[in-house]
Amino acid sequence: MQLRRFRYIYRKTKDYLTQGWMLGGMAIILLLPFVIGVGLYLKSVPIFTQYNIWDLIGSAEWKPLSGKFGLYPFILSSLWITLIAIVLALPVAILSAIHLTTYAKPWVLKWAHPLIDI
C-alpha cells in the first residue's frame, strides 16, 4: 500500500512539473514574437515620425548618411528571390511527390516518409 501511494505521488509530482515546463515553454514561444514586434516598433518610431510610410516604401533612394531611406529595392529584391525560389523548388517538389506516390518501391517510401514529415 505504501509503495502504491509513493508511486502515485511521484507520478502526480512529475505530471505537475512537466505541465509547468510545458506551460512556461508555451508562454515563451507565444510572447517572443510579441516582444520582438514591440522592440522593432520602438526602434522604428523615430523614422516613422520623420517620414510617411508610403514615402519609405515607394522611394528607391537609399542614403542613410543623408537621411534618405527608400525600402523599394529591398522589397522588390525579396519578392524576386521568393519567385526564383518557387520556380526552382516547385517542379522538383511536384515531380518528387509523383515519383514517391506512383513509382517508388516500398522500402524507399519507408525510408523517405519520416524525412518528408520533418
pLDDT tens readout for residues 76-106? 999 999 999 999 999 999 999 999 989 999 9
- In order, the DSSP letters of the chain are -HHHHHHHHHHHHHHHHHHHHHHHHHHHHHHHHHHHHHHHHHHHHHHHHHS-HHHHHH---EEGGGTEE--HHHHHHHHHHHHHHHHHHHHHHHHHHHIIIII--HHHHHHHHHHHH-
CA distances from 72 to 40, 58, 90 (A): 19, 5, 27
Count of domains forming the chain: 2
Last residue of a domain, one of 34, 50, 66: 50
Pair (11, 29) in one structural domain: yes
pLDDT at residue 67 is higher than 80? no
Q: 51: which residues sit within 8 A by CB, 6+ positions away?
A: 69
With 90 as the cut, is the pLDDT of residue 1 above it?
no
67 Rama class: left (phi>0) / alpha (psi -120 to 50) / beta: left
Q: Is the pTM of this model over 0.85?
A: no
Beta-bridge mates of residue 68: 63
Instruction: Print the domain residue range for 8.
Output: 1-50
59 lies in the same domain as 32: no
Q: What is the pLDDT of residues 24-49, one digit of tens each?
A: 999 999 999 999 999 999 998 988 88
Residues 45 and 57 in one domain: no
